[in-house]
Amino acid sequence: MTAEFVLRLLVAGVLGIFIGLEREYRAKEAGYRTHFLVALGSALIMVVSQHGFDEVLGRVGVGLDPSRIAAQVVTGIGFIGAGTIILNKQIVRGLTTAAGIWATAAIGLCVGAGMYMLGVLATLLALVGLELLSRIFRRLGLKSYIIEFSTLNKAVLDSIPSHLNAKDIVIVSYQMDERAAAAGATSYYVTMVVKFKGNNNDVSLINHFNAIDDIVIHRVE
């Protein structure tokens, strides 16, 4: 029986690595090591939940619910997921990674219960959802970016919305600060959150802004 338990842990860990490698390739917050540990830990908890109390179950007056320990994984994994979600200037990042960790925990529980085929199938579906669907529907979605730039010509700022609208770029938020520049001039420092088609990238965004005269781009994220 011990060999069966070891096999469950190994299979769960390998499946977790597969999902983690996809996240690692995307340079996300949680990579293969995190997903490996989540899947391995979930499988171990499921094994303990199912078989860790066999010695006391036969005693008179002892009754245990074997699902209670495993159920805590569903609640507890939320703390790890929440740690991967970042809110930065109205842009939420890390939701997909958090959902992937949650799904990896479920796969670990599944394999820990001995349902190998279901765990493998869930891993394949998760990889399809993370990779293949993002390629298919990339052109349909909008991607968010934070761009910071400055200008000494305040009149330029009035022309930016019409310029971006012509490029199908949506302004989500806009923040401007006035800063002292050389020779007593005033520099207008702008932090802007924009959205545009997912088939574009940060290089495309920089090119659109470079087409606007008298601005200096400081950061694109």
**pLDDT tens for residues 26-53?**
666 667 778 888 888 888 888 888 776 6
Amino acid at 23: R
Domain count, the chain: 2
pTM of the model: 0.63
User: Per-residue pLDDT tens for 109-131?
Assistant: 888 888 889 888 988 888 887 77
Cα dihedral 5, 7, 12, 16, rounded to 10, equals 140
Cα separation, 52 vs 65, whole angstroms: 12
151 and 119 in one domain? Answer: no
211 and 106 in one domain? Answer: no
Strand 91-93 relative to strand 216-220: parallel, antiparallel, unpaired? unpaired
Domain that holds residue 34: 2-136
103 and 212 in one domain? Answer: no
Q: Which CATH number belongs to the domain containing residue 177 in this structure?
A: 3.30.70.260
> 84, 115, 136 — which closes off a domain?
136
